[in-house]
Structure 1
Amino acid sequence: MLNFIQNIDIFIIKQFYNFQHSLNSKLLNSIMIFFTNLGNHGLIWIAVTLFLLSIKKYRKIGYLTVISLIINAIIVNVILKNLTHRSRPFEEISNIILLIKAPKDFSFPSGHTSASFTMVYVFYKHLKKYFPVVLITSIVIAFSRLYLTVHFPTDVLAGLLIGLFSGFWGEKILNRKNN
């Protein structure tokens, strides 16, 4: 079963790579690089969290993002990446030329996507006014990881699910602490 999934992942990522190279669009490449860089080390989401913490009205939501992003980082970077040791597409498929510096950590799951969708959960539940911006930003960050061939589709899908899970459990922990 895992071999079947891996073969589908390889097929899909090859399609992304061929699409990227057939377009040969400097503009689209730049946009994808920009969005992937936004997600590097979760810095955009850390900045959003610091902003939320700095405003009294949003401080509780800021605490929620801190807890949720910590849960996410532990699940993704401490547990799963080290447990699965999954290679990245450019390591599995020959002749892929990257548009960005090659990430050095393991591929599964996508940390960019999981951190982004942790924030999607928080904004959907607590800041609906800004939810569309966070959702679109997160989708483009996730797509950029495929477009730039640094993740397989299942890495991104798992990141999305783990991100939502992290937001949910962050909320449960914060609510338990406040009750």
Structure 2
Amino acid sequence: MITSLSRLDRSGYQFLVKQGQEHGLQPLALSLSASGNGPVYLYMVVLFLLFDSHGESLLNTLLAAYLVELPLYFLLKNMIRRQRPCHALADGIARFEPADKFSLPSGHTAAAFVMATSIYFIYPQLFYIATCWAIGIGLSRIILGVHYPLDIIAGALLGIASVVFSQHII
């Protein structure tokens, strides 16, 4: 079962990377991936704080969720220690050196889904936009060659679960 899952994961990775190359999606993937970096979340929250009365609720939801997500992310990443495809496959796809050696779960995707799920709780009318953006970040990480599809799925689940869990605590 694990062998079949691993084979399916690698095939999905190769398919998405090939699609990205054939359709010239690497520049878009780089931009989407960069939009999942930490400072962008801070800028977004500041805009919500400045222009909307629910901005403080979004900030509190995000802080609580990241307090759950970040330790779990580091724990999982260092326990599982799955080698990134750009290192394991040596396919030359990655256009940059990732911040760390391990790929499971995807931290960019986890953070993006923390943001999207938090938006769902505070601004449900923006949920579809936020979710499409979070999915785009996850897909960009595969197209750029630094994650497998299962890394993205695990990151999304971690992000969603962190918000739901933190909401129950609050």
> TM-score higher than 0.5 here?
yes
Match of 2:95 in 1: 99
Superposed, 1:118-157 pairs within 5 Å as: 118-157=114-153
Aligned identity (percent) is 24
Measure, in 2, the Cα distance between the counterparts of 1:95 and 1:119: 32
Q: Aligned-pair RMSD on alpha carbons? A: 1.9
Superposed, 1:81-92 pairs within 5 Å as: 81-92=77-88
What are the ranges of 5 or more consecutive residues in structure 2 without an aligned counterpart?
none
Per mean C-alpha deviation after superposition, the further-off stretch among 161-170 and 51-60 is 51-60
- Post-superposition offset of 1:56: 4.9
Q: How many residues align structurally?
A: 169
CA contact (8 A) 1:111 1:159 kept: yes
2:70 to 44, 58, 73: 73
Match of 1:177 in 2: none
Amino acid at match of 1:73: L
- Post-superposition offset of 1:124: 1.3
What are the ranges of 5 or more consecutive residues in structure 1 without an aligned counterpart?
175-179
Measure, in 2, the Cα distance between the counterparts of 1:119 and 1:102: 22
CA contact (8 A) 1:16 1:149 kept: no
Runs of 4+ in 1 over 3 A off after TM superposition: 49-57
TM-score w.r.t. length of structure 1: 0.84
Measure, in 2, the Cα distance between the counterparts of 1:57 and 1:157: 29
Pair 49,70 (structure 1): closer, same or farther in 2 beyond 3 Å: farther
Amino acid at match of 1:60: S
Pair 133,7 (structure 1): closer, same or farther in 2 beyond 3 Å: same
Measure, in 1, the Cα distance between the counterparts of 2:92 and 2:98: 11
CA contact (8 A) 2:45 2:55 kept: no
2:27 to 13, 26, 30: 30
Pair 85,109 (structure 1): closer, same or farther in 2 beyond 3 Å: same
Pair 173,16 (structure 1): closer, same or farther in 2 beyond 3 Å: same
Match of 1:15 in 2: 15
Match of 1:173 in 2: 169
Match of 2:113 in 1: 117
- Post-superposition offset of 1:96: 2.6
- Post-superposition offset of 1:44: 2.0
Amino acid at match of 2:147: H
Amino acid at match of 2:81: H
